[in-house]
């Protein structure tokens, strides 16, 4: 199974990815998680990316495309993969198409902007695994602790209200065009075209 999860910041891509990757036994390729790991490791990429991420902007297409192409060479991607937060621009989507990276389904998670701010302000994450919680909507079993490891949960640096607003604007300006891009491709009937599904992201996580 080869999937793309498309949706605004806070739509629940990472949350759903946790379940989908288990069900299909495929790796989650989250460019956001990869960048946060680079920031934590203090690599050159991490240092450059941190400024952009904290400002709510997008890291350059060349860097992201390179990261993903390298990741796809790893053996765990042989039976499929789940893209989370990638592609995010037309050049990123084109690069995958040109490289012949197969996609079975594009799943768009649709959540109105009004709901996003509240989701982000209550989000807590376990940095090592990327597991995501919400203080109200999806609380951990023990407050402030990861369910699996018991380790401390943190708030993401880019979850401040001003940064979230900027990220939403960037989504509408640069990523939302992919809704049309993949819909058109899906409807083209071309060989290798993915199927497209739009899913309401406002119900309970399990739904
Ligand atoms: P990234 O990490 O990809 O962030 P994002 O796309 O902004 O998405 P989020 O991770 O914020 O949201 P999500 O959809 O995963 O929601 P979640 O499941 O956590 O990217 C971060 C940054 O890295 C970017 O801003 C950019 O700078 C850079 N970057 C990354 N990829 C890039 C790329 N390809 N190109 C260029 N730059 C890139 O859920 C959110 C909250 O809601 C949680 O608290 C959760 O518990 C809660 N929640 C989830 N589902 C529900 C529900 N159904 N009901 C109620 N609450 C819910
Ligand atoms: Zn995420």
Could you report the predicted ipTM of this complex, rounded to two decimals?
0.97
* Residues designated as active site: 13, 88, 123, 156, 167
Q: Is 115 in the pocket of ligand 1 (CB under 6 A)?
A: no
Encode pLDDT of 94-135 as tens digits. Answer: 999 999 999 999 999 999 998 998 899 899 999 988 899 999
* pTM of the entire predicted model: 0.95
Q: Is 163 in the pocket of ligand 1 (CB under 6 A)?
A: no
The residues whose Cβ lies within 5 A of ligand 2, an ion, are 14
What number of other Cβ atoms are within 10 A of residue 88's Cβ?
Answer: 21
Residue to mutate, 119, 156, 164, ligand 1, most ligand atoms under 8 Å from C-beta: 119
Encode pLDDT of 44-81 as tens digits. Answer: 999 999 999 999 999 999 999 999 999 999 999 999 99
Kindly report the average pLDDT of the chain as a whole number. 95
Strands 81-84 and 132-134: unpaired
Contact assessment for residue 41 and residue 95, using Cβ atoms and an 8 Å cutoff: no
């Amino acid at each position: 199974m080869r999937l793309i999860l498309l949706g605004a910041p806070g739509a629940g891509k990472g949350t759903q990815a946790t379940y989908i990757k288990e069900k299909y036994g495929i790796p989650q390729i989250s460019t956001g998680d990869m960048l946060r790991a680079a920031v934590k490791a203090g690599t050159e990429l991490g240092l450059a990316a941190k400024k952009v991420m904290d400002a709510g902007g997008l890291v350059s297409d060349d860097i992201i495309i390179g990261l993903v192409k390298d990741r796809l060479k790893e053996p765990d991607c042989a039976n499929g993969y789940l893209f989370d937060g990638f592609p995010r621009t037309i050049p990123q989507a084109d690069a995958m198409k040109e490289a012949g990276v197969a996609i079975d389904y594009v799943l768009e998670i649709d959540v109105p902007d009004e709901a996003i701010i509240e989701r982000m302000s209550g989000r807590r994450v376990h940095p090592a695994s990327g597991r995501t919680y919400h203080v109200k909507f999806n609380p951990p079993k023990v407050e402030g602790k990861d369910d699996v490891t018991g380790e401390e949960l943190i708030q993401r640096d880019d979850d401040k209200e001003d940064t979230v607003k900027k990220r939403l604007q960037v989504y509408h300006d640069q990523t939302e065009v992919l809704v049309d891009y993949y819909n058109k491709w899906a409807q083209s009937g071309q060989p290798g075209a993915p199927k497209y599904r739009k899913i309401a992201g406002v119900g309970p996580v399990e739904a």
